[in-house]
Structure 1
């Protein structure tokens, strides 16, 4: 196999089909939702409802590995990871303190007022005519500006 054969094979693998290709025969099904949508068929909806009832908040779902050796190795790795305590990021702590301080009282007050307004609109109308993104960013900016010197002092 030569270099040109290699590149030809790669090109054929990744080449897009021509736009004038024929549509697949058989037509589209109207019984099930289109691929790539969030819609569910009746059967899927029924199965999902049953799964929700069975779940009862047990945590993550999934299957255990079928091999006994693999399962034991996976459990050992998970135990090692759980033993290590993750330290909390001091930036988050400092930002939380700053957002509750006098320095950020104004932006926090505006944000809380907006949240109350939007929550009231959702309760009354079922939807909100505004969001609180701008107020949130003002509060986050204030907290970040307040916390930055403290974070860098903690890193030294």
Structure 2
């Protein structure tokens, strides 16, 4: 098949629409009521919604009240403390450890230099990305064995 045959086939496919594409829907569809998933509501639904809002206003209740069993579960969930990621804790400890002290020292010096440049000139001629990544790598390497030992 050559390029011209391909282009011709594509042209014929898209230039002459299929007769099935424009056929009206057949059977089962009703135009009297909206299809499911639409935002329109029928007269019966509108009346029921109005009655619901009136009864809610009169009774002072809003929404569904859970049974007594649900109250106990909610109290247990509220009592749970938010979990702390052990990886973050271990990495912070490793950053200040003897193993990562050279990387931490270089990073701190760089931060001081850059901060001084910003205060004096209003902008910095360098950033501390490389030093930060060295420190992060050291902390990750230090924390990994401790983390996996704790997870087993």
Normalised TM-score (structure 2): 0.51
Is 1:133 equivalent to 2:114 in the alignment? no
Tell me the distance in 2 between the aligned counterparts of 1:123 and 1:79: 52
Deviation at 1:86, TM superposition (A): 1.3
Tell me the distance in 2 between the aligned counterparts of 1:126 and 1:151: 42
Tell me the distance in 2 between the aligned counterparts of 1:3 and 1:106: 74
Sort the Cα spacing of 1:142 and 1:79 in 2 relative to 1 into closer, same or farther, 3 A.
same
Tell me the distance in 2 between the aligned counterparts of 1:137 and 1:3: 61
| Counterparts of residues 6-85 of structure 1 (less than 5 Å) | 69=62, 83-85=79-81
Normalised TM-score (structure 1): 0.50
Deviation at 1:87, TM superposition (A): 1.2
SS at match of 1:69: coil
Tell me the distance in 2 between the aligned counterparts of 1:80 and 1:107: 44
The match for 1:89 among 79, 85, 90 is: 85
Sort the Cα spacing of 1:82 and 1:137 in 2 relative to 1 into closer, same or farther, 3 A.
farther
Give the gaps of 5 or more residues in structure 2: 1-18, 23-60
How many residues matched?
A: 89
Give the gaps of 5 or more residues in structure 1: 6-67
Deviation at 1:110, TM superposition (A): 0.3
Tell me the distance in 1 between the aligned counterparts of 2:20 and 2:112: 67
Deviation at 1:83, TM superposition (A): 4.0
Sort the Cα spacing of 1:124 and 1:149 in 2 relative to 1 into closer, same or farther, 3 A.
same
Larger radius of gyration: 2
- RMSD, aligned CA: 2.9
